[in-house]
Amino acid sequence: MKRIRGVLMKSDAPNFPQTLAEGPIDPPIDRVFEAPDASVADFKFGKKVASVFDDMVSRSVPFYGEVQRMVAEMVADYAVTGTHVYDLGCSTGTTFLGIDGEVAPGVKFIGIDNSHEMLDRCRSKLAEKPMAHEVELQFGDLNAGVKIENASVVLLVLTLQFVRPLYRDQLIADILGGMHENGALILVEKVIGEDSLFNRQFIKYYYEMKRRHGYSELEISQKREALENVLIPYKLLENREMLLRAGFRYCDTFFKWYNFTGMIAVK
């Protein structure tokens, strides 16, 4: 392993540029579903998605920046020096960048993702900014379970919805088993409305938001089709019951916008 600006990487990781562009660079625009496709494939976090993911998520998730800020506040309160903060489904590392300046010294960040392309993008982003905390990135499929050790905080930010329902209870059990007492699990998810009437309305409002953010009808339709068998949301109460059933003592909702929610559970 080698460290580049606080980020641990395997020795065979790709080399990075020695010079960086001055000033912030706007992320590439998401045009993944812009062209008509007669046979839309299942959504994957491959190279094409990874390259535009930051733009995609900021335009597709309501109040994404505010949710990230809220997550950072809570992580700062629960992260304990000498322990680990895990980000399961760390994608391009945005959450690590957000919590780095908020968390006490001596906390190690561990990111796990099942997309090599997302991990490559994450490494690149973290290498552009000196990190105050040690960061370790791992490849892993959460459907196969996860090894959590010495954790004070575990993050599932828009991740659990992509884990097959059959494996979600075991994943939550794995997380709980590797956490310290009073450790926190922070869960951000797309959810189903408790009533079908409201669910239809919430979906309608969500697609109106995507139109306001510049997505066309074709893009909305094709992405919906691509996600149909990949992103499988639960109801908010189903997620709450799953966390309490696993053994978390406390659980509450810290964010709600139609069919998106943020929850925190404490061991």
Say whether 64 counts as a known binding-site residue.
yes
Is the separation of the CB atoms in 63 and 89 below 8 Å? no
Is 152 known to sit in a ligand binding site?
no
Q: Determine whether the annotation assigns residue 20 to a binding site.
A: no
Burial of 53 (0-12, 13-18, 19+ CB in 10 A): buried
Task: Establish whether 205 is an annotated binding residue.
Answer: no
Residue 73 vs residues 36, 62, 68, 86, 197: alpha-carbon distances, Å: 41, 18, 9, 15, 34
**245 among annotated binding-site residues:** no
pLDDT at position 67 is: 98
The answer to the question of whether 89 is labelled as a binding residue is: yes
Rounded CA Rg of the chain: 18
Compute the Cα dihedral for 185, 188, 190, 196 and give only its sign. Answer: positive
> Was 141 annotated as part of a binding site?
yes
Helix 47-60 × helix 116-127 angle, to 10°: 70
Q: In terms of DSSP bridges, do strands 260-266 and 151-157 run parallel, antiparallel, or are they unpaired?
A: unpaired
Show the beta-strand stretches assigned E in 97-148. Answer: 108-113, 135-139
CATH of domain 2-10+39-266: 3.40.50.150
Alpha carbon distance 248, 237 (integer Å): 15
Instruction: Give the residue-averaged pLDDT of 205-224.
Output: 97
Work out the percent of the chain whose per-residue pLDDT is above 70. 90
- pLDDT for the residue 8: 53
Domain ranges, ordered by start, for the chain: 2-10+39-266
Q: Check residue 10 and give its pLDDT.
A: 41
Burial of 175 (0-12, 13-18, 19+ CB in 10 A): buried
Helix (H, G, I), strand (E, B) or coil at 80: coil
* Span 69-98, pLDDT tens digits: 999 999 999 999 999 999 999 999 999 999
Confidence at residue 27, expressed as pLDDT on a 0 to 100 scale: 75
pLDDT tens digits along 115-147? 999 999 999 999 999 999 999 999 999 999 999
The Cα 10–Cα 8 span in angstroms is: 7
